[in-house]
Every structure is written in C-alpha cells, then in structure tokens.
Structure 1
Amino acid sequence: MLKQTRELCDQCRTTIFNGHMVCRSCGFSVCIECFTFRNKNFSSNDNNKHKDKDRYMWPYCGKYDPDSQKITKLHHIPNEFIYVQFIPPYIIKKLNWSFQSYMDSIKNLERFDKKKFSPDFLTIDSYSENIRVSDEELTKIFEMYWHSKTPIVIKNINKNLDMNLWTPDSFSNEFGHLEIDLIDCRKNAIVKKASLKKFWDGFENLNERFVDEKSRPLILKLKDWPTTDDFKNLLPARYEDLMKNLPIKKFTHRSGVFNLASSLPDFFSVPDLGPKLYIAYSSADTPKEGTTNLHVDISDAVNLMIYVGKDLTSGKNNEMLKILNESKCNDEQINRFKIDGERPGALWHIFKPDQADLIRSYLTIRNIEKGKKIKDQTDPIHDQLNYIDNKMLIELKENYNVEVYTIIQFLGDAIFIPSGAPHQVRNLNSCIKVAGDFVTPQGVQDCLIITNQFRDLSERHANHQDKLQVKNIIYHSIKKCLSILNCP
C-alpha cells in the first residue's frame, strides 16, 4: 500500500480492506463483493453496446498482442483473476486466535437490554447549580445510554465558548472576501460562487438576501465548510476553542480513546470526520421544506448549536410558540422557550436506525403514487430529496408504526445522533452549527450496513464512495485493543 492513499475497488469504489481479486493481464482490482456478484452472474454473451464496458459495467480487459502490436479488448473472465491480500495470512490467524480467546472469556457477561431505557431521548445539562459538570461524569452517562441508539442532548455547551469567535460579523470580517458554492434549500440546488459577505449580510436581515426569480429571499445554506481544508488549519483559534468545550471527549475528539477512527495508523489516508460548519438561514416560514432533508450519516455524529440569529418570524414569540406546539415536541422543550426564554435554533426529527427500511418503503410508495419515476441505484433516504412534514409523520405512525424523536435544538445544545439513524433538520432561526463525526463500538455495526448500502448507489451519487474505511477502522481497532490486553 502507498502512504496516504486509499486502496479502492476499481468497480464500486469501496475501500479494499485486505483480500481482493486482481486480473492477471491488466491489473484491474475488485473487492470480494463485486467479484462474487460477477462470478455468480458471469456470461460471455454481451449485448451491451457501451464502447468501453460490458453489460455489468466492468471495463474490458486490455490485452496486448505483440504480433499485431494492438490492444484487444476482451471480457474479464473470473478464472483469470488471482486472490491478493495486503495482510499476511499468519497475522490474520494469530489475531483471530487472540480475539476469540478474549471473546470466549466474556461471553457469559450480561448482555445489554435496550428495554431498560425510556423511548424518549435523554437531555443532560452540562451545568448543575451553575457548576460545570465534569466531562468524566457526562461520559459515564453517555456510555450508559448510547447502546440504546437514541439521541442524546447536552445543554449549555456554549457557556465557556469565546463567542466573539462565532458571530456572523467575525466570520464576515475574516472570510467575506471569498466566493463559495451555497445551497438553495427550496430547490436543493447549488448557487455557484456566491459572495460570502452577501451571505452574511443577509443572515439576520431579509432585505440583504439574494432573491429568486419570484423576488423571494433565498433560503441559503453553507454546508460542510471548510469543504477541503482542515478546520484545524483554516480556523485554528475556533478549533482550539471548540475542542476545549466539545463534550464526551473520549468519543468525540479525533484522538479520543473510544473513537475507533483514531486507531488508523498515521500512514493511512485518514477520513475527514470534521469538524465542519453548517450555516443556514431560517426555514420557519416553510413547514413543508427542510434546511437539511432526510438522510443518514455513515457514523455517529455530534451537532452543536453555536449561534442563533434574530427571530425573523412575523409574529415573533407568538409565532414561534405556535411552530413549537405544531411540532409536537414535549412540554420540557416548550418550557425552555416559554418560561426560560431560551432561543430555539432548529427543529430535528430523528428516527431509530432499525426503522430506516420502513421509512424507505413509505417514501418509495409515496413517490410512485405521485407519478415519480424510480431510477435504478437510487435511494429515497440517501438521495436527500425528501423532507417529512407533520402530515407524513402521522402517516408513518399510523401505517408503519414508525416513531420519531422530535427535538428542538436551542442555543448551546449538542445533539448526538446515532450512526444509521435517519434524520432531518429545519432551521427555526438562522443558525451557525458545527458538527463532527466519530466511530463508536456501539455504532460500528451500523457503519458497515450503511457502507454496503452506499456501494449500491450509482457512481455519480455523492455518497457512493467509501470515505470512512470502516473495515480498516475495525481491524486496526481490534489490533490495538489486543496489543494492550496482551501487554505484560
């Protein structure tokens, strides 16, 4: 393997963990899953008229004929492939023996019972009687509940942040000269090279916003920023401030001992798990449209509400209270706004991972009934084209028995989202959020499931490529754990 590179399957673009198949003639490399599918369905009869690929969309094998001095394009034949692995077999055997020995020693331990926990999400205050709760205490609570695959909210994370770093003016002054691609939330379309200063000018002022062809102010979003640069390098002061205050550090930090992604060796091309900024205008006046449509993250994630803009709804407090009541959120959240005067930033709907297929069926049937054509290699959740409004939530409950966690994210709230959990967001005010991904032992199984789902998406799909390398993460995490356990 080359340093700082990822070995990808030449067909599905999923990371190759270890064993894979390579064509003897041209070096075409595929993962075991792609090879197994092709071998099972192989036929030399090819009616495909694609110039460079067969009917399975595999590129033809190019063989050089020294006599004619030409390259002949032929089918890839399964028995012309050889099995190759990066890790020597004796290493795998030794690791597996050690792993099974430890697993046998703990197999009689009491298994976790999800029924012990409330079906509602957990809210924890990071301050108790104006005293900051230690991260160790927060982590203990987190570990107790994270197995249940329910969201967790930790309040008041903003109390120790340097808020001068996180205001719209501070971002505008530092980065307003840039032109960046934004997203039009109504159309789910890209607005190319928009002025970042103009974006910030309209953050809390409707009159300063870009407008559409109907002269309506655009609802814009800056997503996954910085897109290519490392947050730590581009925004060093903000990164340091964030890392000092981000809760559950053993899980959420890049080097956290329970963040399995930290187990990847330095010579790997490490996945970019953030943090990233998510900055968007309010969608309070568009109840059927989300700021972020329904989707699934490939790993566990934490999302921190770091700044909430001025309330631009027409009726101010009365209108906001109406929105909160219509959202069907619980009384505790209503009272945070109504009695405590906290500032609501966003409305979240989070579903359990095991209900994703039911939601997928509902959306597929609904789209067919609306006359939409269902294309191959698409997915109603992974395509991020659907926002589930109140009427649809009722239909999901009545027809599919799908429950939802309705969460109002207030200023300073950190929401923890389990891997594999479908979720969507609608901003109730203009918000600045920062989010980071991490991989937990409790969530790694769902990471594998989502990775395999992404394999089936089209090559052009934004989620198709395996950016997480979950199999590499699992292998090196186990290796690291065993090395510690076996240490004299």
Structure 2
Amino acid sequence: MTTYTQHVVCTGVKSRLRFLFPGAQSYHPSSCLRCQKKEKKQTDLCRFKGFRCFSLQDQHIVVTFAPDDAAKAATATSILPPIWNRSCDLATLRHLQGRIAPFLLTLLQAELEHETKPDLVRCRRDPDVRDICDYCWTSLFSAGWMCRNCGWEVCNQCFCLLLGNTDKPECSARPGSCHELQPTSRFGPDEVEQLILDIKALPIPPPRPFTVPRAISAAIQKADSDREVISIQHNELTNELFVHLWAREDPYPLVVTPVPGQKLLQYPWSPEFFTNLTGKTMCYAQDCETGDIIPMTVGDFYAQFGNEHDGKRVLRLKDYPSSVLFQTTLPYSYLYPDLMNAAPVPDYTRLDGCLNIASYFPRGDAKSDLGPKMYSALRDIKGVGSTRLHMDVAPALNILTHADSQKDAIWRIFARKDTDRLTTWMRKRYSIKGHPIHQQQIFLTDDDLADLWEELQIRPYTIHQHQNEIVLIPPGCPHQVSNRACCIKAANDFLFPDHLEHCLQLTNEFREENLIDGPWMVDVLQLKRSVLHAYTNIREQCLGLAASEGNGMLPATYVENSQHLFCSISSLSGQFQNPGSSILGDLEDEHMDANIDTPQDTLLSNTLSPESAFSGGAINRQTKAEKNKATHERRKANYIKYRDGKSKEPFRCPWCPGKHWSCSTDVLQHTKDCHTFTADLSKSRIKKLRQARQEDLAKMLHEISIP
C-alpha cells in the first residue's frame, strides 16, 4: 500500500495526491491554521508538514499521522548555544544538574501519564517554531491535543477546561464543527521513561558550605525587620553569597553598587549618544498616564530630556530597541557586550552565563526572549509612575545607565511573602478585571502605601537607584518605578536554578490572565523547555568531562541509561565551544550541491581557455562533439577548482554579526528586507553579488548598503 507523508505546505498537497492516487475519489485535504493564514514563513510553520500521512484504501484516501520513526526523523536539528561566559568544572556542572533535576522529574512524571493515552501521535520538534497552546498562549512542553483537521493544538490544562465547556471553539477547516482532538507528544518512544531513570540514578552532591560575612548577616536582619535593602559592592557579590541570599523562600532584592574608581560601562549610553547613532529612526513612545501610543523619531524623544514643564506628558520608549536589535544589529550590537560585561555575578545574570538555565536553550527563532532591552523614560513629574506595579515571571537585572541629573529612580519592591495579602488588599480597593498586579494598571502613591501599612503592616523595600547602580529583582516580587530624573535603563532576565518552582507558578498565573480577556501575554520564557534543554546539555558535558578526566564516579545505571536517551531532545552538545566550531560547516556541505550550479560555473567559464583562443594567427576549428567534450572538461576542472578553493566560512551580513547563511541569495534577501541599499541594483550587479565568494560579498554589501 502506497503511503504519502506530507512534506510540503498544505496548499501543495492536493496536486500531489492527485498524481499519486489517480484512481481515488475526489478528496480535498484540509489546511492547517498556519497555511490558512498564508504567513510569510508558512513553510517552516505548517503544522502538518512531515507529520500527516495519506494512503489509499478502497479508492478512498485515508488520513493518518506519521509513525514514531517518521516523526523522529522529521525533527529538525537544533543549533547549540555558541559559547558560555566561561568553562565549568565537573563538580560545578554536577551540582547545577542536581539543583534542576527534581523540578524536571516532576514535569516528566506528568508527561509519562500522557504518554499512555490511546491513539497518541508524535510531533516533530523544530527549534525555529515556538509551539504554543492556541487557547491560552502558553508554550507547549510536550503533551498536547491537536485537531486532526486544522492542526489547532491545546495544552493538557486547556483540554480539561474545554471538556466541561458547552461552548467549544469551532474548527476553522470544518466550519460548524468542533475540533477532533488527538493526543500528541514531542518525545520519542520510551524517551520520557529513560529520562526519569536517568534523573533517579543521578548522584546529587550535598549543598556547599558557606560562611556568611558579618556585615551581610546584619544587613539581612535589617531587611527582615525594617525592609532595608541589602546593598553590595560589585566585586563583593560572589556566586556563593548570591545563592545564600536568593536560594530561599523569600529572596531579597539587591542593589549592586559600582567599585569606586572603576568604569562600569565603556559607552556613554546618553541621549546624545543614541541621537547621533539612530536619531532619525522611527519608534513609538507611550504615555505613562494614559497608555496612548505616540509615533516619533528617536531623536525627537531624546530631545525632551531635561526640557521639563508642568503640562508635559510623561513618556517612555515602548520596546525600543528590541532584544533582537540589541544582539544582531549595529550599532546596538556594540552595546550588548558592554552590558553583559557590567553584569554582577555573571555566571547567573549574563545571558550566556554558565549557571543561567536559560543560556542552554538552542539557537533558533523559538529561543526564549529574555532581553536585553532598554527602558528610556522622561522624569515622572506628575507622580503617575514610570513603570506601574507588576511582577516579572523570571529574575531580572536592571542597570541605570544614564540619568540627566543627580536625582535617581525610586523603586518600591514588595517581598514575595507579602504578595498574596497585597493582592487581596488591591482587589478590595480597586475594581480591575483580572489580577490587580498582573494587569499593570495601578501605581501605588505615597498615600496608598501609608494606608497599606496602617491596615496590613506591609511595607516595600525602597530603593533609590543612582546612575551605574544595578537592581536585582527576584521573580514574584511586585515592584514599581518612578523616575525622579530622565533615565535610560537596560535590563535582561535570567533563570536562577532555585527559582524554577515559583517561575512556573507565575507562568500559570499569566496563563489565567490570557483566559480572561484573550491573548494578554505570550509565554516568551518557555520555562519547561528551558529546563529540559539545560539538563540534557549539562548531562552530556558531565559525561564528556568524566570520560576525559578518567573519573569513574558515575553509577553504572546512570551511564547505561544515558546510552538510550533519544537525540530528538535538541540540546546535545560536547564541551563549551567556540562560535566557529558549530555545525555551520556541515550545513554548508549539505547545501553545496544545490549552490554550485550555473552562477559559479558561469563565473569560472567566462575566462577564455587556450583551446578557444587564437593560436598562431589561425582559429582552431572544432566539431560539435569536440566542443561539448571540451566544455564538459572545462566545467569539471572549474568545479574542482571551486570545490577546493571554496571557503568554509558561511555568508555573513556586514551589519548583523550574529547572522549567517549557507548561500549568497539568502544574505542578499536579508539585506533587502532588514537594511537599505544606497541605490537600485541592476540585474548584472545582482548577478555579480550572487557569484561573489563569502569574504568578498560582505565587503561589497558594506559598500552599497546602510544599516
């Protein structure tokens, strides 16, 4: 029996079925949600590609889903993180693995129950696709329920919720009908069981002893009794001290002050600096009081710094520059390492920190968006708040990079243990649909804070953040900010190993907010997937280091179970690696055959050979067969020359150092979409660019384009 596995987008399936099954009755295959929307990248986002199968039975086309081995083969290969801030020894990695193993074990045990569902099908895992629940907009770890007709997929929690609802969502591919849901999993067969056995056999080392400095002990007592913030100098905050202050049920917000006489940031991060760089770039400012969005240029916004009057709006830049611009696009990509180098306890707080759980997420479009981001705001003249009361789903680092006067930014940060009572008090005081803190609609004034203390004896930590000072905020601590000067801040999130349970609780609370009034916040943290990638990546490094050191401390069951783990978990790696040692060479070889056709051949064959040139004043006349043979030999020689002289480096954009492509056409398209050519390109110029080698193309693009 012939079976066809869909390997194209849904719109191209019908013609292939007509060709493969000419005797079948008329059949119209349904399209998935992504293909119905006809998005620009629908090839990568089609939910049925490599997953849905068609076969012919009694002249009827029957739809099934790919068997386990086919779904596993369709899983895309991920690209590992390029490098961490430093290498870790075996003891450090094992200790980190032991800190996250109990949390992952709980997740896997819930997945194990789902694996026993009848008619379970296995989906492909793609690092460039962020799998989210179509009902609550929370990222899918593995278990889900997918509609057979349109690919609509929900998480287990939403599936249980929909079972009790009489008003069920309608299938977009079958108007008037409900979804036909089927259980799905993104794990391979027996993969969950092997991971559970692996974790249970893991030797978890005991906690490391730490002696608390006397000054810190006194500061902790004041923080507990009077909510006085703990302030630590940049070079004095060690990994051990940071864990002592944060690995507890009620972690402390911290202020990190710069070392006297040392420069924290190398760039000025001033309004003039950004105006000179991108002053004419369009952006959006938001009114902190009304929420109105106002389009303007970057230069127009920063021109208002210092020009204050009573009737002036309190504006802030909205999501500019984005984290993508920060990491990939000049000139902001210059500021990215400047910010990372300023981070205290870099093993935990840097985006590439070796103890930051989020740093082990594979590269790709689906990678968690943890920043960095800039927050530029005018002085809070009206007292409406530069940032309203809210909670972050992950720990955050915030540095005040510029203030236009000697004044500061005032933070009010509530202790995590006071959150429930604060929420109840706000529900009684304010009429808000949804969670009063998560909706970010309230800024507590001094009068509100006085009432809160009088009624509940709750007071926040008060932080006066000055320029070059860093605030570290634990997850689940409600906080708000009021700028007493025009300020520019930069921030990024990270994943602290001992806060995973609370991050999951906040993720579930945000999920409930999405159910109240439609999509409110997309789950960019992807906590469960981040922990899975971190565990498997660290585990492979531990095995590699143990083998290289000749250390036989791993139990035999642990090593045996490790051999059965499926490689479909897209984070396997060796040691800490150099950016140039990734799989780019393999990708280039894979696509080489498709890229050596006419462009390169034409370029090389334009050079006159001795056989086709004048010799001794007479023309060498050749028969047609001789000409064809000569052409074949010439092209063969040109190909060998091209193959041997071909650079192993990928094609790169001169303006985006972090991006690369395997062929010149892709980088040209990227330059056209994301940057600007100084003049229209002729067909001959485009042809010349496509034929250029890797090292030459970057120079040519730098001359004819601007960021």
TM bin, normalised by shorter chain, reads 0.7 to 0.9
Query: Which structure would you say has the larger RCO, counting Cα contacts within 8 Å and 6 or more residues apart?
Result: 1
1:121 aligns with 2:229: yes
How far has the Cα of 1:364 moved from its partner?
1.5
Q: Tell me what 2:531 maps to.
A: 474
Amino acid at match of 1:357: D
Distance 1:467 1:218, change over 3 A: same
Answer yes or no: is 1:27 the counterpart of 2:151.
Answer: yes
Is the contact between residue 321 and residue 374 of structure 2 (CA under 8 Å) also seen in structure 1? yes
Partner of 1:425: 481
The answer for the alignment partner of 2:171 in structure 1 is: 61
> Which of residues 228, 236, 240 is equivalent to 2:333?
236
Name the amino acid aligned to 2:190. Answer: Y
Deviation of 1:180 (Å): 1.3
Secondary structure of 2:252 counterpart: coil
Q: Which residue of 2 aligns with 1:337?
A: none
Question: How far does residue 189 in structure 1 lie from its aligned partner after superposition?
Answer: 2.4
Structure 1 or 2, whichever has the larger Rg, is 2
In 2, the alpha carbon distance for the partners of 1:73 and 1:197 equals 52
TM-score under structure 2 length normalisation: 0.53
Structure 1 residue 107 displacement after superposition: 8.1
Distance 1:252 1:31 in 2: 31
**2:415 corresponding residue in structure 1:** 352
Question: 2-side partners of 1:463 and 1:26: how far apart?
Answer: 24
Q: Relative to structure 1, is the Cα distance of residues 227 and 109 closer, same or farther in structure 2, using a 3 angstrom cutoff? A: closer
Question: What does residue 202 of structure 1 align with?
Answer: 304
Equivalent of 1:92, from 188, 192, 215? 192
Q: Deviations over 1:50-84 (max 9, x none)?
A: xxxxx2xx431367xxxxxxx452234xxx53221
Match of 2:367 among 256, 270, 274: 270
Q: Residues of 2 paired with 1:250 and 1:270: CA distance?
A: 19
**Pairwise CA distance, 1:178:** 1.9
Equivalent position of 1:165 in the other structure: 268
Alignment of 1:399-438 (within 5 A): 399-438=455-494
C-alpha spacing 1:347/1:72, structure 2 compared with 1 (3 Å): closer
Q: Is the CA contact 1:172–1:196 (under 8 Å) kept in the aligned structure 2? A: yes
Corresponding letter in the other structure for 1:218: R
CA contact (8 A) 2:340 2:351 kept: no
**1:446 aligned residue (502, 513, 534):** 502
Write the deviation string for residues 289-314 of structure 1: whole angstroms up to 9, x where unpaired: 2110001111100000111112xxxx
CA distance in 1, matches of 2:485, 2:207: 50
CA distance in 1, matches of 2:323, 2:399: 21
Q: Could you say what secondary structure the match of 2:324 adopts?
A: coil
Partners of 2:533 and 2:338 in 1: CA distance: 30
CA contact (8 A) 1:157 1:246 kept: no
Counterpart of 2:128 in structure 1 is: 4
Structure 1 gaps, min length 5:
44-54, 64-70, 127-132, 208-214, 311-342
Comparing 219-228 with 294-303, greater Cα deviation is found at 219-228
| Paired letter, 1:27 | G
The structure with the largest strand share of the pair is 1
Counterpart for residue 464 of structure 1: 521
Displacement, 1:203?
0.3
| CA deviations over 1:95-126 (Å, ceiling 9, x no partner) | 112212337x5589999x9x994324321122
Unpaired runs of 5+ residues, structure 2, are 1-124, 548-707
The farther-off stretch of 10-19 and 461-470 is: 461-470
Kindly report which structure 2 residues correspond to 1:43-54, keeping only aligned pairs within 5 A, or say none: 43=166
| Alpha-carbon shift at residue 391 of structure 1 (Å) | 2.0
Please state if 1:176 is matched with 2:272.
Answer: no
Structure 2: how far apart are the matches of 1:204 and 1:268?
39
Amino acid across the alignment from 2:171:
C
* Mapped partners of 2:150, 2:353: distance in 1: 42
Q: 1:140 aligns with which of 237, 240, 257?
A: 240
Give SS of 2:374's match. Answer: strand
Root-mean-square deviation over aligned CA pairs? 2.8
Structure 1 or 2: more helix by fraction: 2
Of 511, 525, 530 in structure 2, the residue corresponding to residue 455 of structure 1 is 511
- Equivalent residue, structure 2, for 1:290: 385
Instruction: Please say if residues 221 and 281 of structure 1, whose CA atoms lie closer than 8 Å, have aligned partners that are also in contact.
Output: yes
Counterpart-to-counterpart distance in 2, 1:403 and 1:89: 52
Q: Work out the number of aligned pairs and report it.
A: 405
CA distances 1:298-347 after superposition (whole Å, capped 9, x unpaired): 1100000111112xxxxxxxxxxxxxxxxxxxxxxxxxxxxxxxx34200
The percentage of counterpart residues that share the same residue type is: 28
Aligned to 1:329: none
Q: Is residue 425 of structure 2 the alignment partner of residue 362 of structure 1?
A: yes
TM-score normalised by structure 1 residue count: 0.76
| Partner Cα separation in structure 1 for residue 172 and residue 311 of structure 2 | 55
Alignment correspondent of 2:354: 257
Distance 1:393 1:190 in 2: 29
Distance in 1 (CA, whole Å) between partners of 2:534 and 2:259 is 30
Q: Distance in 2 between matches of 1:381 and 1:351?
A: 12
2:252 partner amino acid: T
8 Å Cα contact 1:382-1:463 kept in structure 2: no
Paired letter, 2:129: T
Task: Indicate conservation of the 8 Å contact 1:157/1:414, yes or no.
Answer: no
Match of 1:185 among 274, 288, 312: 288
Q: In structure 2, what is the Cα distance between the partners aligned to 1:197 and 1:268?
A: 31
TM-fit CA distance, 1:268: 6.2
Query: Conserved in 2, the CA contact under 8 Å of 1:419 and 1:447?
Result: yes
Tell me how far apart the structure 1 counterparts of residues 252 and 519 of structure 2 sit (CA, whole Å). 27
Alignment deviations for residues 189-225 of structure 1 (CA, whole Å, 9 cap, x no partner): 222x123222212101226xxxxxxx81111111432
- Whether the aligned pair in 1 keeps the contact of 2:144 and 2:156 (CA below 8 Å) is yes
Q: Determine helix, strand or coil for the equivalent of 1:102.
A: coil
Matched, 1:304 2:412: no
